[in-house]
Chains A and B, each alone.
Chain A
Amino acid sequence: MEEKLNAILAETLEKIKGSADLKSLDDVRVGVLGRKGSLTLVLRSLGELAPEERGRMGKKANEVKKQIETSLDERTSALSEAGISELLKKDWIDVTLNAPGTTRRPAAGHIHPISRLQYEIEDIFTSMGFQILDGPEAETEHYNFEALNIPKHHPARDMQDTFWTEDGNLLRTHTSAIQVRGMEKVRPPFRVVGPGRVFRYETTDASHENTFYQVEGMMVDRDISVSNLIFFMKQLLREIFKKDVKIRLRPGFFPFVEPGFELDINCLICGGSGCPVCKQSGWVELLPCGLVHPNVLRSGGIDPDEWSGFAFGLGLNRLIMMRYGINDIRHFLSGDVRFVYQF
């Protein structure tokens, strides 16, 4: 009987190995372990043996049964994995796609608050006779610094930490780079604004970003003075904030203007009585401006004895933060649509 068991085991293991699909494997199983299977028959005949022989053979038969079952299980899972990957190859669907007829739809695009404000400002200036200019984000040292009266070793270069490219060009640090490019295109008298993205090599925090947005403005004509500058700035702020805003000018140093100013607005949060936003001063620094430095006019091929002008740089991020009470500049480029969708 022992030989018979060994023979069944050897033959069955061979068949299991040879079965190519789950169906034939099941046939093997039935042939051995089924009601009339070869091993089942052997087990049934155990009762006919002598008692001492019965115990030994019973043990042996059970071992054989266990071995066969293990082998069957392994082969089953191997064949079903193969079956699944086969299935995946020839017959797949993307379950992440929306099924037709459901209510989920791809999100529609939404205008970013910076673009929105930029368009608004472009409209305001266009209505005042300004022309819109563009300039490259990757700039030359000439347009970003030298033509703006900031020579190579001037300490004013410390005011703007710069991303340099290996070939000595840079990512523009301010939209003022558009000034001289503009003067090369249009001849005075002119009024231009140049919106765009600018870059600083800075550590980011709630009020500092390495990438932000500005609008540069410049007006060149005969006898332009600080009074003209103040008029246009007040006009702009009235349109943006939908009310008259009190402003003040104080001296500020920017190499491309002379005289240069910081324009402060009366704090819109507290109305000027003092609060944490304005550090109790009642005033918030909003934009640098001034009369175009004669050297900058010369860089643009304009005779400073004949023409004069004003220029300003408006930080769009700061302005939106003021308008909507946003407390962290990093939201703008976070890529979080929940932020963008609020505007």
Chain B
Amino acid sequence: MWLSLNILSGMVDLKGVSPEELALKLTMSTAEIDSIEHMNRHLATVISAKVLDVLKHPDADKLTLVDLDTGTGKTRVVCGAPNHKKGDIVALALPGTDFGGGMIIKKSKIRGQDSAGMLCSEKELGFSDDHSGIMVLPPETRLGAPLSELFPEHSDVRLEIDNKSITHRPDLWCHRGFAREIGALLGRPVRDPVDHNLVKEFKSTDNLSVRIENPDAAPRYTGLVMKNVAIKESPAWLKAAVTSIGMRPINNIVDVTNYVMAEIGEPMHAFDRKKLRGSEIIVRMAAQGEPLMTLDGSKYELSAEDIVIADAGGPVALAGVMGGGNSEIEDGTTEIVLEAANFNPVNIRKTAQRYNQRTEAAIRFEKALSPEVTPDALIRCYDLIRQCCPEAEAVTGLVDAYPVKMKEITVKTSTEIGRAHV
């Protein structure tokens, strides 16, 4: 599992603690850190610079000579991009910048003209797939600043946790859990990213209901309907965060659910509300041989030990493992049902093994998650979806089926007990 220091910084202050120190502290007190990875490390030597003049290259039609103000001096590079003009602020990779894969920027002559660096496209910077021209920064950008400072979301550092070392700690399968550990280790306060006041904004114009048939298999199921949602590309910070935690950005809704899983530890799913047949979600055991096609196109004949999420017309998701193809959100989706649920770890483990689907959701559920976190996850999802689509709104309250509330467990301990063991 990957831990993003950017995400952690949202919950606990990491100032003055290097990634290496943090990794050592965690290894010695909590869980083994396998590696430390600096995302887009090259950004440290890519700086903002202002285009002073653009001249034609004397010996090449498609190249230009670009004079730049780097804040501390002037420099000239040869550039092949079509879009930059006098006055633009651009990203200049200084000589020595290592983009990986053997691409290291050097001072050189291009067709006889000196070039002291490279102007970068968003793709070269690692920000997006845009390679149509060089990236133009906002006009107010300070000159000579490394892009690692200007774009902290793209300069994340991530720690790789040895998953085996947290097999017994379901609370540590997320950033919030690690933030609590780090807070304790550093003696710093921990901020909860979940703003419970947001529940007050929820309306109740949709009549979604939830019924759990077998509370042993599914102790809790909490849903939330949102409408006026627009499926689009995620904002840069979200795409960068999703990449940091080792996933591929898909669209704003899927990225938010994945982000919340990494942040809060609760695997989430989003259905297209309009594809659901009826207004009741039923959490039940599958009928032996019942067919279901999952999101990835795999077709299954289910076993009676599998848990499914169903509507009036049949299964719409393989609970705790993967959503169904028939209820998947797509580009035109405007209303969604967000799911945060809790399932019996043994059922999920068996199902994931039976179909060889060890998904991020399944590896968390099989560790026995707390059913108490489902509202947190939905509220946080609502919060982030509103940041991506400000016009989106919640049209139900938390639709919660929680037939048997889990008893709180009190663990008594004392310094005497600790001392006797050490």
Contacts and interface: CB of A to CB of B under 8 A. Distances in A.
Interface stretch (B29-37, B42-50, B281-289): B29-37
B167 A155 contact: yes
B366 A291 contact: no
Contacts of B407: none
Interface in B405-422: 420-422
Given A153-B349, A155-B349, A251 B165 contact: yes
Nearest to A151: B346
Contact of B30 (A156, A223, A227, A251): A251
Contacts of A262: 32
A325 to B, nearest CB: 25
Chain A to chain B: the 10 pairs with minimum beta-carbon distance, closest first:
A153-B346, A253-B168, A226-B422, A250-B28, A155-B366, A155-B167, A156-B167, A153-B349, A253-B167, A225-B421
Interface string A196-237: 000000000000000000000000000101110000000000
11 contacts: A153-B346, A155-B167, A155-B363, A155-B366, A155-B367, A226-B422, A250-B29, A251-B31, A253-B164, A253-B166, A308-B421
Nearest to A260: B168
Contact of B168 (A248, A250, A255): A255
A274 interface: no
A252 interface: yes
* Dominant secondary structure at the A interface: mixed
Interface string A241-262: 0000000101111010001001
Q: Which of A248, A250, A308 has the most CB of B within 10 A?
A: A250
A286 B420 CA distance: 26
Interface in B352-406: 363, 366-367
A159 interface: yes
Interface residues of B, number: 22
Given A153-B346, A153-B349, A250-B32, A259 B421 contact: yes
A35 B13 CA distance: 118
Contacts of A252: 32, 165
Contact of B27 (A155, A156, A250): A250
B367 A225 contact: no
Taking residues whose C-beta sits less than 8 angstroms from the other chain, chain A's interface range is: 10 to 19
Interface string A129-155: 000000000000000000000000101
Contacts of B248: none
A251 B32 CA distance: 8
Q: Which of A158, A255, A291 has the most CB of B within 10 A?
A: A158
A225 B420 contact: yes
Given A158-B167, A223-B420, A251-B29, 19 more contacts: A153-B349, A155-B345, A155-B366, A156-B167, A156-B168, A159-B164, A159-B167, A225-B420, A225-B421, A250-B27, A251-B28, A251-B30, A251-B31, A252-B32, A253-B164, A253-B166, A253-B169, A259-B421, A291-B421
Given A250-B28, A252-B32, A262-B32, A153 B350 contact: yes
Nearest to A156: B167
A225 B422 contact: yes
Contact of B345 (A153, A223, A259): A153
B28 to A, nearest CB: 5
B167 to A, nearest CB: 5
A56 to B, nearest CB: 89
